[in-house]
Structure 1
């Protein structure tokens, strides 16, 4: 009997030793489950590497770790990401973006008409669902989930190219306020891209996982997600490894695009004051908008930046009549200080606090009881916004993770867990709150 026990012990020891040696000296298996962040403005894909336990956010061939959530249709191709954005100015009616705002959502005719008024492409109503009208060499409609599928397919191909293995499974994130229909249509978009979705995870929960909050002793987590076009604030309660969404609020019409627009209005007026006429040519406005966007990004790191743009202004001829107007090349230059940018947007920045106060009230929580403040979305890099949040709570928000990549990092962690990667991480379990409703400010 003792010999049998000894033999069993030897076998177990040999298995452990083989496993250890395999982990030390054999190349780890390639990840086969990807994590996808299908954002309103940008989207990203990440993987969890077995063995090392590291998350990698995958880049495209140009080294960019996120791609614009845009799809453009031409007579010969369907382009996604940066390729689509490159065509946005010359092919605006057939370049669709912000499709996530429409996916799986039912609209009454008046609301859909109001929502679609802001876009250069045509949005039509199909029995309450939004569809996009495309006109190339023929006219047809595409659904929001089809637009999503083209973006997901591009990210799938990015992952396959870098990992060198076929990818068929994924974990995908969605806003916490998405209902069952919106989640199902997001899954449908993934299916159209040839992906099986193993799990759908809420974006705030994914962000909390990226910050490692699923492994530390915290109870109340506030997630402020401020991207290019929307603000979402979520209050999470964690008990053990379980996250419960206590309250949500946001502003669907507040984001980085609005801050850029204020700066664009200012620079347009400066052009008019200096040269007598504002920029009117589509190409001029596009170049000025690009310069303003770059200035906004640089002002997060530098106290001042210089905008320098070549413009072709329609100035009047000697007769002073519009018929005598001629295009005149000019160089517009302006130094923009961070203080000016903050002054132009101060009222918009302060709007961020309204949904913060709402989720605390609905969650029956004092601001002193918030253990961690997590920042998500590129616009939370703006120093004034970080100061505003720090002043309100009396402590600094957690900035240890790149806010642009927080959601995809958390989704990639969950993808690794679902794929059975070693070493296993603590999994986040979301407790669904079926009665939760999002308070929206405009």
Structure 2
């Protein structure tokens, strides 16, 4: 008996030694499960690399770590991401964006009509669901999950190009307030893109994982997710390695695009004041919109920027270009958006009240979404809680980083990490301030 135990012990030791030597000297296996963040305005894809234990957010051909959630239809092709966005001005009726707002959602006819009024493309009602009408060489309807599938397929191909192996499995994130139907339709979108979904994870939980909060001793985590078009605030309670979403609130019509619009309105008025005429040509307005977006981004790093845009103004000289120059300060940007910035705290107060938690009891405040880079917003949140929010992770990539970690866990990647488990909260309802 002792001899048999000795042989067994030697075999186990040999296996452990072989595993150690393999990890040290053999190239790690390619990841086969990807993490997908199908966002309202931007999407990203990431992988967890075995062995080194690091997340890579995969870049597109131009080195960009996210792609716009835009799909454009032409007579011959379907263009997703930046290719679709580039066609949006010349093909607005067949360029679909914000499809995530419609996926799997059940509408009343009047609600859908109200929701779709702000889009240049046509949204049709079909037995409670939304469909997008596309007219190229013929007119046809496409579903929100089909739009999602084109974006997911684009990201799958980005991953396959980077990894050099086929990718057939994924973990995907969804907003915490998505119901079972919305989650199933998101899975259907991934299936249409040729992928099997191993797990659906809530976006706030994914963000908490990106910050490593599933592995440390914290109880109450508040996630502020402010992107291009929506604000979502979630209060998570961590119990061991499990996350319970205690409360949610938000504003689905507040985000970076609204801050841009305020600055664009100011700039258009300055053009009118300087030259006596406002910019009316579509290309002029588009150039100003792009310049405003760039100015907003630069103002997160410096106190002022000089906006310079060549415009085709109707000033009486046909074909002439006018170089519009205007200094924009961070102070001006904050003044133009002061009331919008203050609205961010409304859902924060609501989730604390509904979660029956004092702000002093929040262990970590984490930021998600590019708009949380704005210094005034970070300052407002810090003043409210009396401490700085956690900014150790790129807010644009927090969700995809967490999803990629979960994808690595589902794929059995080494070194193994603690998986985040979510406790379903069937009675949870999201308070919306829009």
Q: Report the TM-score, using the length of structure 1 for normalisation.
A: 0.97
Displacement, 1:316? 4.8
Equivalent residue runs for 1:267-278 within 5 Å: 267-278=267-278
**CA offset digits 1:100-122 (Å, max 9, x no partner):** 00000011111111111111111
Q: Which residue of 1 aligns with 2:369?
A: 377
Q: Which stretch has the larger CA shift, 159-168 or 4-13? A: 4-13
* Runs of at least 5 residues in structure 1 that lack an aligned partner in the other structure: 318-325
Is the CA contact 1:224–1:373 (under 8 Å) kept in the aligned structure 2? yes
How far the C-alpha of 1:11 sits from its partner, in A, is: 1.0
Matches within 5 A, 1:166-315: 166-315=166-315
| Whole-Å separation in 1 of the counterparts to 2:51 and 2:268 | 54
Paired position in structure 2 for 1:437: 429
RMSD over aligned CA atoms reads: 0.8
SS in 1 for 2:28: coil
Q: Is structure 2 residue 363 aligned with structure 1 residue 363?
A: no
Cα offsets for 1:267-325 (capped at 9, x unmatched): 000000000000000010001000000100110011111110010012358xxxxxxxx
Residue from 407, 413, 419 that aligns with 1:415: 407
Which one is further off, 365-374 or 111-120?
111-120
Structure 2 distance, partners of 1:54, 1:211, is: 13
Other structure's SS at 2:312 match = strand
Distance 2:16 2:110 in 1: 65
Q: Tell me what 1:64 maps to.
A: 64
Secondary structure at the residue paired with 1:364? coil
CA distance in 2, matches of 1:233, 1:423: 32
Cα distance in 2, alignment partners of residues 305 and 102 from structure 1: 37
Equivalents in 1 of 2:206, 2:7: separation in Å? 46
Give the SS at the match of 2:337. helix
Say yes or no: does 1:19 pair with 2:19.
yes
The equivalent of 1:342 in structure 2 is 334
Q: Could you tell me how far 1:3 is from its partner in structure 2?
A: 2.3
2:415 & 2:423 partners in 1: Cα distance? 25
1:313 is paired with a residue of what secondary structure?
Answer: coil
Shift, 1:327, TM fit: 5.2
Hey, which bits of structure 1, 4+ residues long, moved more than 4 A? none
Q: Does 1:403 align with 2:395?
A: yes
Structure 2 equivalent of residue 146 of structure 1: 146
Shift, 1:85, TM fit: 0.5
Query: TM (normalized to structure 2)?
Result: 0.99
* Alignment partners' CA distance in 2, 1:192 and 1:173: 17
Displacement after TM superposition at 1:394 (Å): 0.2
Paired residues in the alignment total 434
The offset of 1:127, in angstroms, is 1.1
Corresponding residue for residue 94 of structure 1: 94
1:329 counterpart residue number: 321
Hey, what does 1:321 align to over in structure 2? none
CA contact (8 A) 1:315 1:327 kept: no
Q: Cα offset for 1:328?
A: 4.0
Distance 1:108 1:8 in 2: 67
**Corresponding residue number in structure 2 for 1:103:** 103
